[in-house]
Amino acid sequence: MGHGAGGRLFAELLDTVIGPIIGADPVAEDAAVVAVDGVGVVVSTDSFVVTPHDFPGGDIGSLAVHGTVNDVAMRGARPVALTLAYIVEEGFPVADLARITASAACAAAGAGVAIVTGDTKVVERGGADGIYINTTGIGELLPGAVVTAAGADPGDAVLVSGPVGRHGAAVMAAREGFAFDLRSDSCALNTMVEDMITAAGRDVHVLRDATRGGIAAVLNELAFASGVGIAIDESAVAVPDQVAAICDVLGIDPFHLACEGTLVAVVAPDAADDVLTAMRARPEGRGAHRIGVVTNTHVGRVTARTALGATRIVDMPLGEQLPRIC
């Protein structure tokens, strides 16, 4: 299966194989809202299989915490508790397990979230690639938050909290041994999200962390889910020089690279400045900026105005490297 990198093939798998069996909503949110005694509880789960386990800017432990904390936060919720489950390959160094656990604990503390339970299973040699981690998070909806992937309206502003592509580029460089000065953006976004909701309440329409498939996948998903078009200005999207450099070498579109501490927000036009101010007040949102606008043309599609003034279609990444030039 070439479905790993998150994109068109993965979306297809979800639509055709997994979704129908569990009766899932075709609009895939990263987290679900469940009513418990009339109170909105947000639940999200994710498994982490990154290679290498350590990369500049983080490791699989901190990543597993940030990923799930962020997924809960992207529904407009305050994450409160996490579970932490390991699948460990026989022979995996105990010291590494301890270090990864310490990193996860530190990340959870930093995000203000408690790790409340966990599990460890050991599988035989070759049954796993060292260590896999699953985290499940629960959170409570923030007062006044109404955030869904389908919430984008024409005219809304599209914001991004920082430069894109840092996590994917850092992991790739570390894995393949390419010498670039790159650092993952992995961090918890829940506090910044609280500040954004405080600043603008229900004027924050959509929040997505631009993880698998990068901002290209996230923008396409929300254009589809909201039944709108999204027009961005390519040069407004900050791409760090070193990310651009490795993308040029590898022939990758930086818009397709995963971020782990960068979110895309769609907000009512009048609230955009307030939300940007709230974001920029936090270190993880210091580079927040406006990248585009929601439109009622090109419905379901993302278009980018290039530096040359042309307009290109920003497609979902295909999930594997698949050139088109004939």
Partner 1 sequence: MRTAERTAQRIELHGIVQGVGFRPYVYRLARDCGIAGQVYNAGGDVVIEALGSNEDLESFMNRLPRETPPGAVITTMVSTPFDAQVGKRFSIGPSVAARTAAHGLTPDLATCDDCLLELFDPGDRRYRYPFLNCSSCGPRASVVEALPYDRERTTMRRFTLCPDCRGEYENPADRRFHAEPIACPACGPRLSWSGGSEEGAALAAAVRTVAAGGLIAVKGVGGYQLVCDAADEDAIARVRAVKSRPVKALAVMVPDVGGAMAAARLSDAELRLMREAARPIVLAESRGSLPRQLAPGSDRIGLFLPYSPLHHLLLTDLDRPLVVSSANLRGEPMIVDDEIAFKLGPSVDGILAHDRPIAARYDDSVAQVVDGRPRLLRRARGYAPAPIPIPDMVAKPLLAVGAQRKHTCALAVADQAVLGPHNGDLASAQAFASFTGTVDRLSRLCGADPVAVAHDLHPGYLSTQYAEGLKGLDRVGVQHHHAHVVACAAEHGVPAPFVGVAYDGLGYGSDGELWGGEVMVADYTGFERTGRFAMAPMPGGERAAERPARMAMGYLFGPEPGLGKVDLGYARGFLNQMDGQEVALIRRMIERGVHSPRISSAGRLFDAAASLLGLCDDNTFEGEAAMRLEAAARDHGGRALPWQITRRDGLWVLDPAVTLQALLVEARTRPIGQVAARFHAAIVEATATLVMITADRAGTDRVCLGGGVFANRILAEGLMDLLRGQGFEVYLGERVPPGDGGIAYGQVAILAARLARQGAS
One of 23, 38, 126, 251 touching partner 1 (CB under 8 A)? 251
- State in angstroms the smallest separation of the CB of 15 from partner 1: 12
DSSP 17: I
Shortest separation between residue 25's beta carbon and partner 1, angstroms: 20
Cα separation, 267 vs 147, whole angstroms: 10
Residue nearer to partner 1 on the CB measure, 85 or 178 = 178
Q: Given the rule CB under 8 A, which of 98-106, 120-128, 280-288, 302-310 is the region that contacts partner 1?
A: 302-310
Binding part of the chain for Mg ion, among 38-46, 84-92, 166-174, 285-293 by CB under 5 A, reads 38-46
Report how far residue 188's alpha carbon sits from residue 170's, in angstroms, rounded to the nearest whole number. 18
Nearest distance from residue 134's CB to Mg ion, in Å? Answer: 11
71 binds, among Mg ion, partner 1, Fe ion, none (CB under 5 to 8 A by kind): Mg ion
B/e letters for 311-325, b = 16+ CB within 10 Å, e = fewer, are eeebbbbbbeeeeee
Binding mask 307-326 for Fe ion (x = CB under 5 A): -------------------x
Query: Which listed option, partner 1, Mg ion, Fe ion, none, makes contact with residue 3 (CB within 5 to 8 Å by class)?
Result: none
Nearer to Mg ion, 59 or 209 (CB): 209
According to CB under 8 A, which one of 17, 123, 249, 281 is a site residue for partner 1?
249
| Angle, in degrees to the nearest 10, between helices 94-111 and 60-73 | 30
Q: Pick one of Fe ion, partner 1, Mg ion, none as the site partner of residue 308 (Cβ within 5 to 8 A by kind).
A: partner 1
Judged by CB under 5 A, which of 6, 29, 46, 58 binds Mg ion? Answer: 46
Contacts of partner 1 in 169-188 (CB under 8 A): 172, 176-178
- The span from the CA of 79 to the CA of 7, in Å, is 27
The two tokens of residue 109 are 């503390």
Residue with tokens 């997924």: 71
Part of the chain binding partner 1 (CB under 8 A), chosen from 37-45, 52-60, 261-269, 307-315: 307-315
Smallest distance from the beta carbon of 246 to Mg ion, in angstroms?
23
C-alpha to C-alpha distance for 314 and 302, rounded to whole angstroms: 5
299 binds partner 1 (CB under 8 A): no
- Cβ-proximal residues to 139 (8 Å cutoff; 6+ apart), any chain: 31, 41, 42, 72, 73, 75, 77, 78, 79, 80, 190
CB of 81 to partner 1, least distance (A): 39
Adjacent-strand bridge partners of 44: 137
Which residues in 77-96 contact Mg ion (CB under 5 A)?
none
Backbone angles phi, psi at 163, to 5 degrees: -65, 150
> Considering beta carbons, is residue 192 or 252 the nearer one to partner 1?
252
Angle at 130 between CA 127 and CA 131, to 5 degrees: 100
- The number of residues that bind partner 1 (CB under 8 A) is 30
Angle (CA) 44-47-52 rounded to 5° is: 140
- DSSP per residue over 269-294, as a string? GGGHHHHHHHHHTSGGGTT-EEEEEE
Q: Report the alpha-carbon distance of residue 13 to residue 218 in Å, rounded.
A: 17
Query: Which chain residues interact with partner 1 by CB under 8 A?
Result: 8-9, 172, 176-178, 248-252, 298, 301, 303, 306, 308-313, 315, 318, 320-326
Query: Which chain residues interact with Fe ion by CB under 5 A?
Result: 326
Query: Which chain residues interact with Mg ion by CB under 5 A?
Result: 30, 46, 71
